[in-house]
Amino acid sequence: MFCVKCGTELPDDAVFCSKCGYMMAPAAVNAAGQTSSQNSGVSQRQTIAGSGVTEMKCPGCGAPIKPQQGETVMTCEYCGSSVSLGNLGWQNVSRHSMLSISIDDTEKLKLIVRKHMDHGLMERHSFEESKEESSELSYVPYWIVPVSATSSYKYLDMGAEVGNLALDAAMIGAAEEMGGRGNGMGSGMMDGIFIGGMVGGGMGGNNAIRGGTFSHNYECPVVSIKGREHLQPISYSFNLDHRTQFDRTKVVNSIKILNGDIDESTARNMAQSFTNQEQERAIRAKHHHIQSLNTQSQPGTPELLHVPVWITKYTGKKKSYTFVVDASNGGIIKADEIKQ
pLDDT tens digit at each of 340 positions of the chain: 666 556 676 777 665 565 665 555 443 333 344 433 333 334 457 888 998 899 999 988 889 999 988 899 999 988 899 999 988 899 989 889 999 999 999 999 999 999 888 875 446 678 888 999 999 999 999 999 999 999 999 999 876 655 555 555 555 555 455 444 444 434 333 333 323 333 333 444 556 899 999 999 999 999 999 999 999 998 899 999 999 999 999 999 999 999 999 999 999 999 999 999 999 999 999 998 999 999 999 999 999 999 999 999 999 888 899 999 999 999 999 999 888 7
**pTM, 2 dp:** 0.73
Partners of 223 in beta bridges:
142
For the chain, give every domain's residue range. 1-93, 106-151+212-339, 157-208
Instruction: Dihedral sign for Cα 69, 70, 71, 72, please.
Output: positive
Beta-strand pair 96-98/256-257: unpaired
CA angle 254, 135, 249 (to 5 degrees): 25
CA angle 290, 294, 295 (to 5 degrees): 120
328 Cβ contact list (under 8 Å, min separation 6)? 99, 100, 101, 102, 103, 238, 239, 242, 307, 308
